[in-house]
A = this chain, B = another copy of it.
Amino acid sequence: MASAGPASEFFEVCFLPSGLRGTVARGTPLREAARSLGLEIESLCGGRAACGKCQVRVLEGESAGHVSALSDAEARARAAGRLGVQERFSCQARVEGALAIYVPEASRVGRPIVRKSASERECALAPAIHKYFVELEPARVGEPRGDWDRLHEELCSRFGLDVALSVDPVALRTLPETLRVGRGQLTVTVWRGREVIRFEPGFHERALGLAVDLGTTTLGALLCDLATGTVLAQASTHNPQIRWGEDIMNRIASANREGQLALMQRSAAEAIGELARDATLAIGATPADVVELVVVANTVMHHIFLGLDVHSLGVVPFSPTVSRPLDIKARELGIPVLPSANVHLLPIEAGFVGADNVAAVLAEAPHETDALTLLIDIGTNGELVLGNRRRLLSASCPTGPALEGANIRFGMRAARGAIEKVRVDPATREVRFRVIGQPRWSDRILPGDIGALGLCGSAVLEAVAELFRAGVIDRTGRLYAEQPCRRLRQGTDGMWEFVLAWAGETAIGKDIALTQADVRAIQLAKAALYAGSRLLLERFGAPRPDRVVLAGAFGSVIDLERALAIGLFPDCGLDNVTAVGNAAGDGARMALLNVVAREEAERLARRIEYIELSTTPGFNDQFVAATQLPHAEDPFPSTELRWSPHAAPG
């Protein structure tokens, strides 16, 4: 600073609300002054008064002439209504004396945003993507350097990007046309300060990112504005891989068959492309505007999505090919978005505990509290994390798809027409239920107007809990009744079943019943979750968790009281159980918006201790014991089914 001028040419400048202050040479633009004190003010245009991002307000000193007069660019912006009467562009206004400057939140780099998810955790913005507006002079005769070389120099000198900055070769192909159309003015999209991935003619502020939860059964995506963190649109679709099997083990078996892996990979990539198309269409953009993706998935979906052989995931010791986080070009994976966009895959924990679980932990942050948290992510596979600030354990439970309504005779997805709630009168064993899309219970509607189509996962669980409480299911899970009941009958295949909806109440023209096999499927699922939870608690050396967090779509719709009643997870008091919805999707969004969260995810994945349940001594006994239903208020003795066929409905 010694060479900048005499001592009298330095003035004290204070920035609010941070309170940062220091002395700055006369003539320094306010944005530079802030930076010299360690405060970054937004700028997309690199100080050309083009983007309007760097606005500040002069609180003190303006009337005393301590700030330079309005520049031409500022005057034009104010006339056009782009610059308020009290605001200045901090790239234009210069220090001429002591000043106090207010930096509004919108102008601060790294401002906090509030997540729209259940947990409401704050997430700072630090996206992988930054955009820069550049004006490139036309090449002169005798200029030996290429356009990209001159642009590279401009990006490095004006915006301080590293000289190792490279350019994606596919993006490079668009540079000549971009320069022609924009007459030298262009917006450059840079990934992690390292690589240019897009050239657009003129000034374009918006950058779109897509956070994808690639589930075994469904895919969900959030389209985000990477500059603000706002969720602009959502989209979801079925996983088209369902034709290769409903659960993970079937997918592995299919992928092991000659030529299927590549087809399965492509179908996942195309499904993500579909989500990108639907979500961008909703806001008038195109998939090519999606410049960054984060994908979370369980280990098997993750590997298939990468085109990786999953053979080793199907046999002991269930070892993945890769667990570290990866960044891969969208075009390498065949996702129809911006070809040069990067797809970030969060790390895998181990075995079946995948990147989706890492994302859920990232979002729910059990490692940031002292309370012992049991995080249960119920999808086609159940994933458990137990821990607190001190230690984190995880396990994967083979719940099967019953809790999602699959492999259930009348099971269906949680869509319009699905029965989602079930109540059984313990005295009469009569049933009322509620159908998705109908605000009223079935006993308040004319039977012909109910239009039930089947049972979604939550209804199956509730039915089991209600029938258990009503004494129609005993502790071993058998359908049973001491007295005749017209809803309990033997089906044509000889299997016992309990009718929940009569044919006249459905849109399918036949009775919707819960079968003995359905009850068994729920028992196995709940036994897997319960025994897994117990085993983690034993490992942790704690009798019970302080709180239970249910993640996943299923976790949001089930009746927690009834879930506890059948022993879906260890009891810690209903008040300490919360359902947080799609925590994996929330975590994916955090990683999309913040590269620091990606690093945190990597640390978490390494830190979480994975317990392989299937090879852990004692798990099988725990599992068998947990298939039993706990005593209800009015327990039934665990005896043989004492039922006579005359009780069947006539």
Chain A residues 321-352 with CB under 8 Å of chain B are 321-324, 326, 328, 332-333, 348-351
Task: Tell yes or no: A149 within 8 A of B by CB.
Answer: yes
Which chain B residues border A169 with CB–CB below 8 Å? Answer: 306, 326, 328, 332-333
B140, B143, B170, B309: which contacts A176 (Cβ < 8 A)? B309
CB distance from A58 to the nearest CB of B (A): 43
Task: Tell yes or no: A317 within 8 A of B by CB.
Answer: yes
Among residues of B, the one whose C-beta sits closest to the C-beta of A616 is B142
Known: A321-B148, A322-B148, A322-B149. A173 touches B143 (CB 8 A): no
Which chain B residues border A307 with CB–CB below 8 Å? Answer: 173
Known: A317-B139, A612-B141. A146 touches B323 (CB 8 A): yes
Known: A139-B317, A149-B322. A308 touches B173 (CB 8 A): yes
CB distance from A309 to the nearest CB of B (A): 4
Chain A residues 139-169 with CB under 8 Å of chain B are 139-149, 152, 167, 169
A319-B144 Cα distance, complex, nearest whole Å: 7
CB distance from A144 to the nearest CB of B (A): 3
Chain A residues 114-140 with CB under 8 Å of chain B are 139-140
Known: A169-B326, A308-B173. A317 touches B140 (CB 8 A): yes
Which chain B residues border A350 with CB–CB below 8 Å? Answer: 142-145
Task: Tell yes or no: A175 within 8 A of B by CB.
Answer: yes
Chain A residues 605-619 with CB under 8 Å of chain B are 608-612, 615
Task: Tell yes or no: A644 within 8 A of B by CB.
Answer: no
Task: Tell yes or no: A320 within 8 A of B by CB.
Answer: yes
CB distance from A121 to the nearest CB of B (A): 26
B141, B170, B316, B322: which contacts A316 (Cβ < 8 A)? B141
Known: A172-B321, A173-B308, A309-B176. A612 touches B148 (CB 8 A): no
Task: Tell yes or no: A600 within 8 A of B by CB.
Answer: no
CB distance from A648 to the nearest CB of B (A): 50
A415-B142 Cα distance, complex, nearest whole Å: 39
Known: A169-B306, A307-B173, A309-B177. A321 touches B143 (CB 8 A): no
Contact A147 B321, beta carbon cutoff 8 Å: yes
A142-B308 Cα distance, complex, nearest whole Å: 21
Total number of A residues with any Cβ neighbor in B under 8 Å: 48
Task: Tell yes or no: A312 within 8 A of B by CB.
Answer: yes
Which chain B residues border A108 with CB–CB below 8 Å? Answer: none
Among residues of B, the one whose C-beta sits closest to the C-beta of A614 is B141
Contact string, A285-320, partner B, CB cutoff 8 A, digits 1/0?
000000000000000000000111101100011011
Which chain B residues border A351 with CB–CB below 8 Å? Answer: 144
Which chain B residues border A141 with CB–CB below 8 Å? Answer: 316-317, 612, 615
A141-B141 Cα distance, complex, nearest whole Å: 67
CB distance from A568 to the nearest CB of B (A): 26
A317-B177 Cα distance, complex, nearest whole Å: 17
A317-B173 Cα distance, complex, nearest whole Å: 20
A341-B593 Cα distance, complex, nearest whole Å: 33
Known: A148-B322, A308-B176. A317 touches B143 (CB 8 A): yes
Interface residues of chain A: helix, strand, loop or mixed (majority): loop
A320-B175 Cα distance, complex, nearest whole Å: 11
B146, B167, B324, B611: which contacts A149 (Cβ < 8 A)? B324
Contact A320 B147, beta carbon cutoff 8 Å: yes
CB distance from A152 to the nearest CB of B (A): 7
Which chain B residues border A176 with CB–CB below 8 Å? Answer: 308-309, 311-312, 321
CB distance from A332 to the nearest CB of B (A): 6
A144-B170 Cα distance, complex, nearest whole Å: 36
A321-B350 Cα distance, complex, nearest whole Å: 46
A311-B146 Cα distance, complex, nearest whole Å: 13
Which chain B residues border A139 with CB–CB below 8 Å? Answer: 312, 317, 319
A332-B307 Cα distance, complex, nearest whole Å: 18
A630-B321 Cα distance, complex, nearest whole Å: 73
Contact string, A65-86, partner B, CB cutoff 8 A, digits 1/0?
0000000000000000000000
CB distance from A601 to the nearest CB of B (A): 14
A403-B308 Cα distance, complex, nearest whole Å: 53
A431-B378 Cα distance, complex, nearest whole Å: 93
Contact B316 A146, beta carbon cutoff 8 Å: no
Which chain B residues border A173 with CB–CB below 8 Å? Answer: 306-309
Contact B612 A146, beta carbon cutoff 8 Å: no
A176-B320 Cα distance, complex, nearest whole Å: 9
B142, B147, B172, B309: which contacts A306 (Cβ < 8 A)? B172
Chain A residues 579-621 with CB under 8 Å of chain B are 608-612, 615
A326-B170 Cα distance, complex, nearest whole Å: 13
Contact string, A390-434, partner B, CB cutoff 8 A, digits 1/0?
000000000000000000000000000000000000000000000
Among residues of B, the one whose C-beta sits closest to the C-beta of A140 is B317
* Sample of 5 A–B contacts (CB below 8 Å): A143-B317, A146-B322, A147-B321, A148-B322, A149-B322
Q: What are the 3 A-B residue pairs with the smallest beta carbon separation, nearest first? A: A144-B350, A139-B319, A146-B323
Given A140-B317, A146-B348, A172-B322: 10 more A-B contacts, CB < 8 Å = A142-B610, A142-B611, A144-B610, A145-B350, A146-B319, A149-B323, A167-B322, A169-B328, A172-B306, A175-B322
